Amino acid sequence: MKRMLSVVGARPNFMKVAPIASELRNSPDIQHFLVHSGQHYDENLSGSFFAELDLPKPDVNLEVGSGSHAVQTAEIMRRLEPVLLDWRPQIVLVVGDVNTTLAAAVTAAKLGIDVAHVEAGLRSFDLTMPEEINRKLTDSISTLLFVTEQSGVNNLKREGVAEEKIFLVGNVMIDCLLRHREAAAGSRILDRLGVRHDGSRCLPYAVLTLHRPSNVEEARTLQGILSAVSSLATDLPVFFPVHPRTRKQIADFGFECYLADPGNSHRGLIPLDPLGYLDFLSLNAQASLVLTDSGGVQEETTILGVPCLTLRENTERPATVEQGTNQVVGVDPDRILASARSVLNNPQQEHRCPPLWDGKAAQRIVQILNGHLQCV
Ligand code: UD1
Ligand code: UDP
């Protein structure tokens, strides 16, 4: 029996590991352990996803909590090392680009344990993003690099990664979406928000998510985005599930004036607590427009066929622009407002599904893992 250990820690990790964990249940030769770093710990950023996505309860939670990049990364490494020494997995699987990803990859690699990186090769070419540093370092020490889109393969080859380590397998985040789409249709979120719905795909509201430090930690940038979206919200309500980092910054900068009174949930820029996966999927699936700086949401809107404006200067996911419904519009308030109104006035956009975003990425990954583990 071979031992594999997957490490999760932050919200976007859970939906990436869930389909792989589910697929591994059909692999009796692999014993699968799950470690939670505790990078995210609130119920609505972590706990709720385990039940909704049918993720097994972690075998151990390292409970590192929040901290500076160095403190959080170091603390995960310090607490993970004895777990790896104890369980001695043949491979450690990490996903995405958060501090947990890098910390777990470094800890495993230094113990001589193979690392499999899911979502390898994505590059924004912007080293001011902490995630770009995490991606590049993780890829450089990984043994198996599972890639979601062709640009990732090209980036890895350009960086000199050996071709036999690179596997274009598709997108596990989309596996998760496709597996839960039907369950999300049963969500009561629209009723709770007072949105009248008649079964049509496109309802007259928009959704906003924001959490990138470059957008929320600098007062002028955050103010520009909030003022643009609150102007848009005079045309149609904009629901805004607020990440805790962003909530703190809005309070610190005194920007609550841009938000609607949460008691009046029918118009304006309406702040909500972070939503559960099924509620958020249901809300996005029926929106006229999504505005976001999230990586995962750019991919999900591509598959949902919902227009997405990415409030950043770049994207590490070019397939969502070239083939999907995404437009990278930056953070200039006039451009955000003009782009949003243009999309709302011209709702029919052509889009395609990027190759292999077909719900079978986890299956391909587990097949490759099985082959690899037979040889180690
Ligand atoms: C992290 C990831 C980011 C990812 C995002 C997903 C890194 C460097 N960043 O950013 O790539 O897109 O998760 O949501 O790994 N907090 C809470 N409750 C929690 C967790 C955090 O209130 O359960 C607050 C704390 O004040 C904390 C802040 O949010 O300091 C930021 O959390 P952190 O995990 O450091 O970064 P995120 O912005 O969540
Ligand atoms: N998400 C969610 N509830 C929310 C906001 C996002 O369930 O209120 C989900 C979203 O559907 C996607 C993932 O969280 O699956 C994206 O995570 P996030 O935006 O935090 O991180 P990123 O993808 O930018 O790293």
pLDDT in tens, 215-232: 999 999 999 999 999 999
Nearest alpha carbon to residue 226 among 214, 235, 216: 216
pLDDT of 38 strictly over 80: yes
Which ligand 1 atom is at minimum distance from the Cα of 130?
Answer: 8
Closest CA to ligand 1's atom 2: 98
Provide the residue type at 287 as one letter: A
Q: Average pLDDT in the 45-65 region?
A: 97
Distance 12 CA to ligand 2 centre (A): 5
Question: Tokens for 264?
Answer: 């009046």
Q: Which residues line ligand 2 (CB under 6 A)?
A: 11-12, 15, 209, 241, 274-275, 277, 280-281, 294-297, 300
Crossing angle, helix 361-375 and helix 11-24, to 10 degrees? 70
Dihedral over alpha carbons 104, 105, 107, 112 (to 10 degrees):
140
pLDDT of 265 strictly over 80: no
Distance 40 CA to ligand 1 centre (A): 6
pLDDT of 126 strictly over 80: yes
- Strands 2-8 and 60-61 come out as unpaired
Distance 17 CA to ligand 1 centre (A): 18
Q: Average pLDDT in the 55-70 region?
A: 98
Which ligand 2 atom is at minimum distance from the Cα of 284?
Answer: 11
Crossing angle, helix 172-185 and helix 295-304, to 10 degrees? 60
Cα 200 vs. chain centroid, distance in angstroms?
26
Residues labelled as active-site residues: 211
Distance 376 CA to ligand 2 centre (A): 35
The pLDDT tens digits of the residues spanning 159-177 come to 999 999 999 999 999 999 9
Question: Nearest ligand to the C-alpha of residue 306?
Answer: 2
Q: Average pLDDT in the 293-311 region?
A: 97
Nearest alpha carbon to residue 310 among 301, 322, 298, 325: 298
**Domains of the chain as residue ranges with CATH:** 2-170+357-373 (3.40.50.2000), 182-345 (3.40.50.2000)
| pLDDT range class, residue 201, cuts 50, 70, 90 | confident
pLDDT of 261 strictly over 90: no
Q: Indicate the DSSP class of residue 55.
A: P
Q: Average pLDDT in the 12-30 region?
A: 97
> Phi, psi at residue 9, to the nearest 5°?
-160, -40
Q: Are 337 and 221 in contact (CB under 8 A)?
A: no
The reply to whether ligand 1 has any atom less than 6 angstroms from the CB of 241 is no
pLDDT of 299 strictly over 80: yes
Q: How far is CA 101 from CA 78, 130, 151, 339, in A?
A: 14, 12, 21, 34
Closest CA to ligand 2's atom 14: 12
The reply to whether ligand 1 has any atom less than 6 angstroms from the CB of 41 is yes
